[in-house]
Amino acid sequence: MTVYHHTVVDGAEREWPVDPAAAGRVAPWAARAPEVLAQDLAGMAQYFPHWFLTGSAGGKPARCARRACQGAPLVPTGGALRCARCGTAGEADGLLWLGHIPSLARPEPAFQRRRKALRRAGFSEVAAGEAVYLLVPLMLVYPGEWPNVQPVVRYARRWLDALDLPRSSGAHHLIQGGRACIFSWGQWTAMPVHAVLQERMTNHVASLLKVAAGQRPRQAFIGRIHHERWQPER
């Protein structure tokens, strides 16, 4: 079954068929175990249909080198990692997912100032009836040893900045400039990427938004499994 991904590039909606063999060229694990990638593609299509798979370069999204493409992502399609705008093939050293997790805007008056800051910084929200959801920008980077090693999930740094949250803070379960700490040492067992987002990141996002609304981090993150065991980097 062919999976199609889409995103907006330079104001225009682009859609492409995902080529698993092209993904395997930059991620040996995906070439060795195509069924693992197929499972992730199917799970994401079902639960996070607006996310898309791109090449990575040094843990960041791989981008088209052509100036006219203004940093359009390189995506696995048509036998290579290709620019989502112009189709030119480019280089990558791994794979990652880009997308958003929708999370309810906090009702506290103190949070309204934060929402304004997010809007000023260009981050969108969507309304569903009375409810307003923030679209929290994330990326999930596959390790070279997937699925034996946990993925790296990062917040967009500008999003953290707009909410006046620290990029690295043990109390906020953030390390390495925006990476979410979502598993304690030795806790990882192989699971598909959509389950990482559902079972771990959704809670992490909700806790961070509580902090942005004025709660103390210790209280906002209470009950997180890894709370007592995690040793923040110093």
Residues that bind Zn ion (CB under 5 A): 64, 66, 69, 83, 85-86, 88
Give the nearer residue to Zn ion in terms of CB position, either 83 or 162: 83
Neighbours of 32 (CB within 10 A): 10
Give the nearer residue to Zn ion in terms of CB position, either 82 or 115: 82
**CB 90 to Zn ion: min, Å:** 8
Give the nearer residue to Zn ion in terms of CB position, either 66 or 226: 66
Give the nearer residue to Zn ion in terms of CB position, either 67 or 120: 67
Q: Given CA atoms 178, 193, 132, 124 in this order, what sign does their dihedral have?
A: positive
Give the nearer residue to Zn ion in terms of CB position, either 86 or 121: 86
Q: What does the block give as tokens for 1?
A: 């079954």
**CB 84 to Zn ion: min, Å:** 8
**CB 141 to Zn ion: min, Å:** 22
Q: Residue 20 corresponds to which amino acid? A: P
**CB 26 to Zn ion: min, Å:** 17
**CB 63 to Zn ion: min, Å:** 8
Neighbours of 13 (CB within 10 A): 8
**CB 93 to Zn ion: min, Å:** 18
Note every long-range contact of 149-157, with CB atoms under 8 Å and residues 24 or more positions apart, other chains counting. Answer: 149/188, 150/182, 150/183, 150/188, 150/196, 151/193, 151/196, 152/59, 152/179, 153/179, 153/180, 153/182, 153/196, 153/197, 153/200, 153/201, 154/178, 154/179, 154/180, 155/180, 155/208
- Is the omega angle on the peptide bond into residue 17 within 30 degrees of 0, that is, cis? no
Residue with tokens 């929200």: 125
Give the nearer residue to Zn ion in terms of CB position, either 67 or 234: 67
Q: Residue 18 corresponds to which amino acid? A: V
